[in-house]
Structure 1
């Protein structure tokens, strides 16, 4: 947790250490808001550190730690609203937004921070990987789930298993388009998470440009993409499929019926682009439901998976 604690002013660092104690493995978020107590979010509950007020001076300290005292060099990240730090942890930012002609130009007066603690869970996808391939190839696969249902954790482990050939009889070249630096959590181009020995990563690159760039430059056999949804994402994804590349991707959603109401996505489902569809639903703080369906929506297997 040193990568996280180094971001915090000394008085907050000590308060967090004291309150979290031996619960680091359960901690998911540290939320900092100007002139308010620090909020800690665990798997199963939230807590306030009631005697810790986050001040304007503290905000400046955190920003300096995030940027190594040079906000200018992080202009692009600030526009995106998050910064990835060593260890794959991600810090979300909010404050006053400046727009020009309706487009976001700059995020300033940053007074809200959400430190999301990265959880690399190896082998979470191992029991299910054999449903995602035949004897020689992997299937186009869509992973559906609401926020914080484990989509990114799951797809990261799938990338590793396919790349290294673990739990299967063959491995494939994998390309990851990591637009938000969440899957591989690269720092200076180096993945902080284990995404497999035969995996290449296009970090902080828009999905639309990144998919075709990766295909042209690195000739992946399997392309991993997080959080599709826009019409241009779907067009780029279809181009990749027509180029003979297997695509495995995630999308925000609660049900298949909900996704069918979204025109850009429904065309993929109606045309049965995905031979496998994985539904993730949070059951409670400890477990989530996982269901794998075929391209016609028929159930193949269902399981209760425990958060680790």
Structure 2
């Protein structure tokens, strides 16, 4: 498991922050650094740190507190300097990432952006005058998906079962998908290794930086970074000879058509979808259509009962 302790924080994350915020974060105790999931900067608002289910702030002496009113207030200059740092002082070079609302930095950590959105017709062209930033710290929890392998490998062990990872937000679905890619791309006797393609539309699964995965998705895994899911699945079929395609958060009609094309070609698909239960999926017309086609045979329902990634239920569709 990759735990964002102080060494990791100092090496991969703090260099991007404005000096005043960097100095405060350096004073955090090691235990809090390991629990850290998000760092949020909002203009003229307190600095917020998320660790598990709790929010903390830091006062001007770097002391942790759950009383947000006492927190260090982030200035417009703090945000401006941080944005300049994560974009290497060239917002133009990151125009595509900014248009999508985030920038992935070295180490696979993702910085969400908010500010004034600039439209071109009905399409987002870019963003400017940034008002808040959300640093999401990338975590690898290796072997967290091991309990799922007997289900996903199927009875023969030679093919993977088309599987949906069903989860509300912040329940570990991306972490589970990432580890499944790594496990399936490695050999686990008596199970064979597979060629895996990760279609990583939001650069979360592999955490790619300049096209290179920063997180371990396995030795037989190809990554299509920043690629729309439906297009990526079809591209993978045509050019990368996958046995398994893994992608995150399907839900659009074009995604459904791409999944069906993969299944008809004999390629297994493992993906996630936002929902709390399998029954909840049936209430969404597009997902109901997909499930009625029997494209997916297995659903893994996640929760946070025992922390992110808790397996609440396994559902089979025959």
Equivalences for 1:27-66 in 2 at 5 Å?
27-51=36-60, 52-66=72-86
The 5-angstrom pairing of residues 171-210 of structure 1 reads: 171-210=193-232
TM-score (norm 1): 0.92
Deviations 1:200-233 (A, max 9, x none): 1111111111111111111101000111001111
For residue 85 of structure 1, the aligned residue among 94, 105, 120 is 105
**1:277 counterpart residue number:** 299
Residues 167 and 29 (structure 1), Cα distance of their counterparts in 2 relative to 1, 3 Å cut: farther
Partner of 1:53, secondary structure, is: coil
User: How many angstroms does 1:285 deviate by?
Assistant: 5.0
Q: Tell me, what secondary structure is at the counterpart of 2:258?
A: helix
Indicate conservation of the 8 Å contact 1:227/1:252, yes or no.
yes
Q: Is the CA contact (8 Å cut-off) linking 2:38 and 2:51 kept in structure 1?
A: yes
- Pick from 169, 186, 190: which aligns with 1:164? 186
1:1-308 map, 5 Å = 1=9, 2-51=11-60, 52-133=72-153, 134-135=155-156, 136-166=158-188, 169-283=191-305, 285=307, 288-296=310-318
Contact (CA 8 Å) 1:174, 1:221: kept in 2 or not?
Answer: yes
Question: Relative to structure 2, which stretch is displaced further, 197-206 or 96-105?
Answer: 96-105
- SS of residue in 2 equivalent to 1:290: strand
Secondary structure in structure 1 of the residue aligned to 2:133: strand
Cα distance in 2, alignment partners of residues 288 and 121 from structure 1: 13
- Asked whether the 8 Å contact 1:87–1:192 carries over to 2, the reply is yes
Between 247-256 and 166-175, the greater mean CA deviation after superposition? 166-175
Q: How far apart are residue 167 of structure 1 and its match?
A: 6.3
* Partner SS, residue 164 of structure 1: coil
Give the RMSD, CA atoms, in angstroms: 1.5
Please say which of residues 2-11 and 161-170 is displaced more in the overlay. Answer: 161-170
Contact 1:211 1:237 in 2 (8 A): yes
Go from structure 1 to structure 2 and tell me whether the alpha carbon gap of 1:265 and 1:86 turns closer, same or farther (over 3 Å shift): same
> Where do 4+ consecutive residues of structure 1 move more than 6 Å?
none
Matched residues in 2 for 1:287 and 1:254: separation?
13
Give the aligned partner of residue 303 of structure 1: none
Render the CA deviation track for 1:225-253: whole Å, top value 9, x for unaligned: 11100111111111111111100001111
Where does the alignment leave 5 or more consecutive residues of structure 1 unmatched?
297-308
More strand per residue: 1
Aligned equivalents of 1:199 and 1:21: distance in 2? 34
The answer (yes or no) to whether the contact 2:302–2:311 under 8 Å persists in 1 is: yes
- Cα deviations across residues 265-300 of structure 1 (Å, max 9, x unaligned)? 11122232211110001226577343211115xxxx
Deviation at 1:61, TM superposition (A): 0.9
Give, in whole Å, the separation in 2 of the partners of 1:281 and 1:76: 33
* Equivalent residues of 1:44, 1:286 under 8 A apart: no
Structure 2: runs of 5 or more not aligned: 1-8, 61-71
Cα offset, 1:19, TM superposition: 3.1
Q: Contact 1:85–1:187 at 8 Å: present in 2 too? A: yes
SS at match of 2:81: helix
d(CA) in 1 for partners of 2:219, 2:116: 42
